[in-house]
Each structure stands twice: as C-alpha cells, then as structure tokens.
Amino acid sequence: MRTMARTLLAAFVALLLVVSPCHARPAPQHTAKSSSPKEHKAVVDGITTIYNFGDSLSDTGNLLREGATGMLQYTTGPPYGSAIGGATGRCSDGYLMIDFLAKDLNLPLLNPYLDKGADFTHGVNFAVAGATALDAASLAKRGVSVPHTNTSLAVQLQQFKDLMSTSTRSPQEIRDKLAQSLVMVGEIGGNDYNYAFSANKPAGNGERSLYNFGRMATGVVEAMALVPDVVRSITSTARELLDMGATRLVIPGNFPLGCVPSYMSAVNETDPSAYDANGCLAPLNLFAQMHNVLLQQGIRELRRSYPGATVAYADYFYAYVRMLRDAGEAGFDEGAVFEACCGAGGDGAYNVDVDRMCGAPGTSVCARPEERISWDGVHLTQHAYRVMADLLYHKGFASPPPVVFPRST
C-alpha cells in the first residue's frame, strides 16, 4: 500500500509538469520557412508531403502563435532551442522527431499551421503543446478542465480539412495529394490523462493523508476510464483521414511514463520492488501500456477496414526502452539516463524540481546536452529525439514500415 500510494503521488506531481507545455518565441527565419524547391533532394519512397497532428512532442510553434498561457513563463526563451540558434516553439534544446523525419525524407521542416505566411507545399504541422485527444467539452463533462489550449485533435482535424478545402478543387485532388503524403496521427492523448490527475490533486500542501490518498486514487481511476475514449478519438481521426484518401498513416503510442525523470523524482521511491529491470517505475509503465495495448487493437481494426493502406504503429514505449538499454552505444552518459539536462535538482538523482522548470531562476543547463536523454525532465534532448527517430523509422520500431528508405551505399 505504501509503495502504491507514493507511486500515485508521483503520478500526480510529475503530471503537473507534463500538462504545462513549452512555449517559445517565434522561430528564427532560417528554421521557420521552407527551403526552395531547388534545394530539395530526390523524393523518398514517393512521399512529397507530411501532415502532423499531436501535442508538445511535435509542436513546432503553434502554441506560441495561439498566445500561450500558463505558469511556465521561463520556457518562452533560452535555453530552449539552444542547439539550433534560439527558441522556436519546440520543447527541447533543438529539433524533434518530426524534424528528423522530414530531413530523412528530404523535405523541408514542417511549418506550424498558425504561421499563415509559411509555405505549406510540402506539409503542415497542426500539433499544439498541451493539446488533448478529446475535446474540452467532453472532458468538462467528466470534471476535467483543459488549461492551455482548446486545439484538441478534432480541432486539428478540422484545420486540416479547412486547409484542404482552400488549397484543392475537389475530393479527388485531395485523394491524389494524400496518396503522396505521410500522415502522423499523434502522439496525443497523454494530456487527457494528465488533466484528469490534475483535477484530483491533493488538498492542502499535498501532505499524506487518507483523504489525499483517496483524491489521488480517484484521479487514477478517472484517467483509466478515459483510455477507451482517448483511443477511440485517435482511431476515429485516422479513419476520417483514410476515408479522405490517406494511404500511409503513423499512429504512435505513449512513452514509458515510469522512465521519465519528472515522475521518478516526484516519487523518489526507495523500495526496489517499485522498479522494473530497466530502473523505471513499473506501475506508471503499466498505465502507459494499457493505453498502448488498446491503441494497437484499434490499429488492427483499421488495417482490416483499409487493407490497401499502410497503418503503422510507432512504438514509442519500446523504442525509448531500447534507447535506455543502449545508452552508451548511442553516445549518452550511462550514469545520467534518468537525469534532466536542464533543471534545478541540485545533487538529486534526476535534476528535477517540480517548482522550478528549465529556464527559471536557479536552474542550469548541463555542459553536454548531447549526452543526456532528458532535456527538462519531461521532454527529450535533440540527440535523444534523433535516436528515437532512427529507431522508429530506420530500425523497425514503427511497424509495418511507413517508409522504405534507400539503402546506404
């Protein structure tokens, strides 16, 4: 009981970090605008366009253009984006998985949908940090509020439809365009669970008591109850895109939450039985896997309904675990795989302080971000995102392969 209570407390406290998205200043021009067609290399596997839906794991600047709100004022500038010349709206020190995927496809970086002056010829990014799979009204009926953005997955899908209606002349033209496109549906859904935890935060100063344990247990139950609806929202969106003509979709699962430094720091559990063989908190990983299992069931149904399309499951969970296991080979500091690069944890094992996120007074950045997996305790470093992209799209962790890359010579 004691271990479970502390794990539940960890889930809530750490989720408070996750639900507060990264914000940033507008991107430097050299990273915001698409390259000219003359700079493009050969088309890879017939893909000329990427459309991306999601949250802070792939937002490249939409939230800041919405007018970001929240407590994390310190994440609106440096050191975010320090590896790419300045803050751009990406929740990392540099580029994200979606950026590396675009580069690997010889395509320009995706511009955010809300950058109305941008070139959308080769793709659009609809992802917004803090976004949810369910809309705000649906969550409100369950007593869950959405604090940062109303741009849910349904809103992002409508934005896509609006763009298609203004840039094409017929449904057939949309189908023709989608036939040459890669469509990324997520990762999204994690914030739905986070906000459910937040709605049942401990009273007072978070002291341990039967009452607060009851509140946290309620949060866990309500988050679990959301899983079928969250998964249904994701697969329904994918179904609409397939009906419109999409032929290649990627649907990612959730990260192993129990391996994320912010969660691990919050619980600071000393009981070895709470951890798995990789050093991660087992109960939180089980919750993430519950979402992933249901999502994969939904993906199998999509494959049966659309046998002519490729619907890939991007296994963020096990790609992350592989990155942990092979940390040294990938160039990470094996002694710091659970330690955030930017934070204020002092001599703690995770360098995470829930009251001072990266960029706040008293926080500092590690000397070698490229040797860390975690950037701010929640999001990953540019190097980690590069490794994840390689595992997913070049080493089989997205299955079936959504893209066939040419073999290196």
Active site residues: 56, 376, 379
Distance CA 88, CA 92 (A): 9
Residue 248 in 3-state DSSP? strand
What is the chain's percent helix, strand, coil content, to nearest 5? 45, 10, 45
152-159, long-range: CB < 8 A, 24+ apart: 153/53, 153/188, 153/233, 153/234, 153/237, 154/233, 154/237, 156/53, 156/113, 156/126, 156/127, 156/128, 156/131, 157/53, 157/237, 157/240, 157/241, 159/113, 159/126
CA–CA dist 262, 376 (Å, integer): 8
Tokens for 197? 């935890």
Integer-rounded Cα Rg, in Å, for the chain is: 20
CB distance 198 to 71 below 8 Å: no
Angstrom distance (rounded) from CA 272 to CA 282: 10
Measured distance CA(186)–CA(208) in Å, rounded: 36
Cα first-last separation, the chain:
57
Task: Identify whether the C-beta of residue 302 lies closer than 8 Å to the C-beta of residue 238.
Answer: yes
Q: Are 314 and 398 in contact (CB under 8 A)?
A: yes
